[in-house]
Amino acid sequence: MSLLSVEGLGIAFGGVRAVHDVGLTVAPGEIVSIIGPNGAGKTTLFNMISGVYLPGAGRVRLDGEDVTGMAPHLLARRGLSRTFQNLQIFPAMSVLENAATGFHLRESGALMADLLALPGARRRSAGALAGARDLLARVGLDRAADREAGELSYGALKRLEIARALATAPRLLLLDEPAAGCNAVETEEIDRLIAGMAQSGIAILLVEHDMKLVMRISTHIVVLDHGEKIAEGDPATVSRNPDVIAAYLGAPVAEPEAAHADG
């Protein structure tokens, strides 16, 4: 039984069809990757699934419930979290605090208790910080915990976003180019991290340009071009598909997507 199921999803910006009639499913423990040349609509698809954009057509179902266009914070409550292609961290907060925000749903309580530092509030806060510390260790950032997040390198911030997303205890995690800007060693770490998350039963939807990474860890691949699904299947099938090869000709595979919300 799939956790996420997307049917006929589409959106247009100013008359231009950015994504059209895309469907896919992700089951717990699966890693489904979305690939395609720059401007194929991958990030736009992510933004629709995660409630940032309101889809113009189609349905998004999470565990059978219709969640199309639902606000992101309500989706988070239902177990959907994500990372961003163009980083969205909280630069003025420490790395530890960034990760701790991910515990918001589980560790936040009455406002009055927080203002008065009642024992319950202090316990919740300490719980979130301890949990955040564990997650930072898991993504290899424990030593940077007390630094201001704005000071970290690009690759480290990508991992911080993953730690923060994990803190929400997601059932479905959308990762938008987690390996962008990472060197070979870091990419391998991220590779292991994603595989580990999938093993723990999290359903993972991945956008990534590093084809080696994608081919290695994906259980299923969906190929987008000009906003439409042109192929899908397991890594071996997709990599032999002539349409996919044609779509990629002339488009260097490893180059990061240029514009945000590229349509």
Partner 1 sequence: MRPSAKWTQLLILFLLIALLPLFFPSGYYFRVGALIFVNGLAVIGIVILTGYAGQISLGHAGFAGIGAYASALAPGHLGLHPLLAVVLGALVSAAVAWLVGRPILRLKGYYLAVASLGFGILVAMVLGNERALTGGPDGMAVPDPGLRDLLKDLGLKLTGGEFWYWCCGLCLLIGAWAALNLQASPTGRALRALHGSEVAARTVGIDVARLKLQAFTISAVYASVAGSLLAMQNRFITPDVAGFMHSIEMVTMAVLGGVGSVIGAIFGAVILTLLPQVLTVFADYEQMVLGAVMILVMIFLPEGLIPSLARKLRGRGE
Partner 2 sequence: MDALMQFVFSGVTVGAVYALVALGFTIIYNASDVVNFAQGEFVMLGGMITVFAHLAGLPLPLAALGAILATAALGVALNRLAIEPARGAPVVSVIIITIGASILIRGAAQLIFDKQLHGLPAFSGDDPIRVMGATILPQSLWVIGGALAVFVGLWAFFTRTLTGKAVLATSNNRTAAQLVGINTGWVMTLAFGLSAAIGALAGVLVTPITLVSYDVGVGLALKGFAAAMLGGMGNPKGALAGGILLGLFEALTAGYVSSHYKEAVAFIVILGVLFAMPQGLFGRAGTERV
Helix/strand/coil for 40: coil
- Residue 8 or 150: the one with the smaller Cβ distance to partner 1 is 150
153 belongs to the binding site for partner 2 (CB under 8 A): no
- Residue 165 or 221: the one with the smaller Cβ distance to partner 1 is 165
Hey, what's the torsion of the CAs at 248, 205, 164, 52, to 10 degrees?
80
**Could you tell me if 202 and 171 are in contact, meaning their C-beta atoms sit under 8 angstroms apart?**
yes
C-beta atoms surrounding 17 within 10 Å: 17
Contacts of partner 2 in 222-261 (CB under 8 A): 260-261
Question: Residue from 51, 84, 166, 177 that binds partner 2 (CB under 8 A)?
Answer: 84
C-beta atoms surrounding 38 within 10 Å: 14
- Residue 21 or 262: the one with the smaller Cβ distance to partner 2 is 262
Residue 123 interaction partner, one of partner 1, partner 2, none, beta carbon < 5-8 Å per kind: none
**Interhelix angle for 154-167 vs 119-138, to 10°?**
130
129 belongs to the binding site for partner 2 (CB under 8 A): no
88 belongs to the binding site for partner 2 (CB under 8 A): yes
Question: Residue from 5, 38, 125, 241 that binds partner 1 (CB under 8 A)?
Answer: 125
Q: In what order do the strands lie in the sheet with 57-62?
A: 16-26, 4-13, 57-62, 65-66
Smallest distance from the beta carbon of 261 to partner 2, in angstroms? Answer: 5
123 belongs to the binding site for partner 1 (CB under 8 A): no
Residue 260 interaction partner, one of partner 2, partner 1, none, beta carbon < 5-8 Å per kind: partner 2
Question: Residue from 34, 55, 103, 191 that binds partner 1 (CB under 8 A)?
Answer: 103
154 belongs to the binding site for partner 2 (CB under 8 A): no
Helix, strand, coil percent content, the chain, rounded in steps of 5: 40, 25, 35
103 belongs to the binding site for partner 2 (CB under 8 A): no
Instruction: Give the tokens for residue 204.
Output: 């993972």
Beta strand residue intervals within the chain, DSSP E: 4-13, 16-26, 31-35, 57-62, 65-66, 80-82, 172-176, 203-207, 220-225, 228-233
Smallest distance from the beta carbon of 107 to partner 1, in angstroms? Answer: 5
Contacts of partner 2 in 40-69 (CB under 8 A): 47, 52
H and E: helices and strands count for the chain: 11, 10
Contacts of partner 1 in 136-175 (CB under 8 A): 161, 164-165, 167-168
13 belongs to the binding site for partner 2 (CB under 8 A): yes
Q: Please choose, out of 12-20, 54-62, 112-120, 222-230, the segment that lies near partner 1 by the rule CB under 8 A.
A: 112-120
Question: Residue from 8, 64, 66, 77 that binds partner 1 (CB under 8 A)?
Answer: 77
Backbone angles phi, psi at 221, to 5 degrees: -125, 135
Binding site for partner 2 (CB under 8 A): 13, 47, 52, 84, 86, 88, 260-261
